[in-house]
Chain A
Amino acid sequence: MKLDTLSRAIGEWLRGTGPESDIVMSSRVRLARNVAHYPFVSRASETERGEIEQFLREQVAVSPAGGGLEYIDVGHLEEVDRQFLVERQLISREHAEAEGARGVAIDGREQVSLMINEEDHLRIQCMHSGLDLAGAFEQIRRVDERIEEVVPYAFHPRWGYLTACPTNVGTGIRVSVMLHLPALVITRQIDKVFRSLHKIHLAVRGLYGEGSQATGDFYQISNQTTLGKTEEDLISQVGDVVPVLIEYERKARDYLIKETELNIHDQVSRAIGILRTAQTISAEETMQHLSRVRMGVFLGLLGDVKISDINALLVRTQPAHLQKLRGIELDSNDRNIERARYLRQYFENAETGGTSVN
């Protein structure tokens, strides 16, 4: 039901409309919260996990934040459906792979998601398109305050909001920005950038989840510490560095156009050529080419491709999305064939002025 509706739409964060959206894909804020009168998830018995899930599901529903949220019982979903939610960034990989009672409440625009029984009892996430940390924080703050009216969040005057892992204690906030940095990758400056980010206590990860290798030149920058600073300061810690990275990336793009225009135009053209004509293609290769095409659009090298379409294709060519769209389970080989078919069809439609991916 719900998931099929979702698979036809695209999330707000993929629209490619926010500020600086040529380089900043999305801005995300998440809060880790726990209920005071239950053990943390990893220590809770099966019965207790069930009670926590029920308590939070009911309380979120009756809270002023509950209106417009739809609840999905993740514990009873098929694997492909759980993977589907991971690909849309509505739940974490850990949440998908965990066991026992758990769920997620999401809003229709896919900006807000509330994971129940992840590592913490409640993980609230808010995601906006482009560079909009302030907007994402304002929204999540409201949701948090509304839930707080009916849920006793575990809190200690000295330690702040109490979390299962001491790395999240205090504000429980994780602020992250997803950046598309292809020119810094091509000009081999990306490692230098990461080293300097580590020095100022920021973490860097790839597009799909923690610890995974960055594919398609998408990188997520986030804060490492959560205690001893206000939420606003932690947001600035991430937010202040983003304009600098944007400027580096723009300079690298200018350089590529000025010094190697033929070469970069060739790379972008070959990328879209492969996407248009391939008969079988892996998710990784697709990401690489989509990344080049995305940059090509912003460099004015490809006229008629919509950026929201490229963003959507990044998600829709992921394994679970392909299987949901097709309506059957596919093995890796068949997925590669289906992915190529889907891409060819998209470009064919786009060129004949047909419907876009949205």
Chain B
Amino acid sequence: MKCQQCDKVAVFHITELEEGGVRELHLCEDHARGYLTQAEPVAGEPKSSTGGAISGPLSVSHTADELAALDQKQCSMCGITFFEFRNQGRLGCPHDYVQFEKELEPLISNIHGATEHVGRRPRRYPEGTESLTRAIGMRREMQQAVECEDYEHAGRLRDALRKIDETVRGSAGPPADAAGSQGGSGGGE
């Protein structure tokens, strides 16, 4: 791959995380050094209204090999690869924050200048909802089972998913009873 700013080989592959998505830069060593040592991000209107206010260079650089290996990484629950995330700028599911924790850490640190949440915590699941994310993988597995016509397996997964759904609904009970007693404002109109 050639450098985006000259004819030399691109050895630095930089991912810029912006509000509108992810921007990739492929640069030779000289241009990468110039880019990374810039105090201010590259001039341009979108930057001045969003990323410009975030301190420090908003980027993580990798060598080509590191990047290729990293791109292959895949979430065991939703199946998104790190490559897809880099392209879209959106993660696939809550489990990505666990699966890609190492990779996300420098990105998040650049965006927020912090890597630890200190704000409010939910009263339910204050220790985190990681255990619930297996439902995401199960739903994918169920889909595959249906495609393979393994209906018995698909049925078991469906029952397990229903149980999860019931437990997460919490104190208010199933909607059918509660909606009736509340006058049901949840209609689709």
Contacts and interface: CB of A to CB of B under 8 A. Distances in A.
A36 B117 contact: no
A59 B176 CA distance: 11
B44 interface: no
Contact of B89 (A151, A165, A229, A230): A165
A158 B135 CA distance: 21
B97 A169 contact: yes
B122 A153 contact: yes
A205 B132 contact: no
Interface in B1-39: 17, 19-20
A36 B114 CA distance: 23
Interface stretch (A5-13, A60-68, A331-339): A60-68
Given A48-B139, A59-B172, A205-B49, A119 B112 contact: no
B189 A66 contact: no
A150 B123 CA distance: 11
B68 interface: no
Contact of B135 (A37, A43, A59): A37
Given A40-B93, A42-B90, A152-B125, A62 B179 contact: yes
Contacts, number: 222
Contact of B113 (A161, A199, A225): A225
B179 A203 contact: no
B122 A155 contact: yes
A34 interface: yes
A20 interface: no
A286 B93 CA distance: 44
Nearest to A172: B119
B184 interface: yes
Given A58-B175, A59-B175, A150-B171, A227 B129 contact: no
Most chain A CB neighbours (cut-off 10 Å) among B55, B119, B123, B178: B119
Given A61-B179, A159-B117, A224 B97 contact: no
A166 B104 contact: yes
Interface in A223-239: 224-231, 234
A58 B116 contact: no
Interface in A184-231: 197-205, 210-211, 224-231
Most chain B CB neighbours (cut-off 10 Å) among A148, A164, A166: A166
A78 to B, nearest CB: 14
Interface string B107-126: 11001111111111111111
Interface string A297-309: 0000000000000
Contacts of B53: 197-203, 224
A138 interface: no
Contacts of A329: none
A-B pairs with lowest CB-CB distance, top 4: A228-B114, A160-B117, A61-B186, A36-B129
Interface of B: 17, 19-20, 46, 48-50, 52-55, 77-78, 80, 88-94, 97-98, 104, 107-108, 111-130, 132-133, 135-136, 139, 143, 164-165, 168-173, 175, 178-179, 182, 184-189
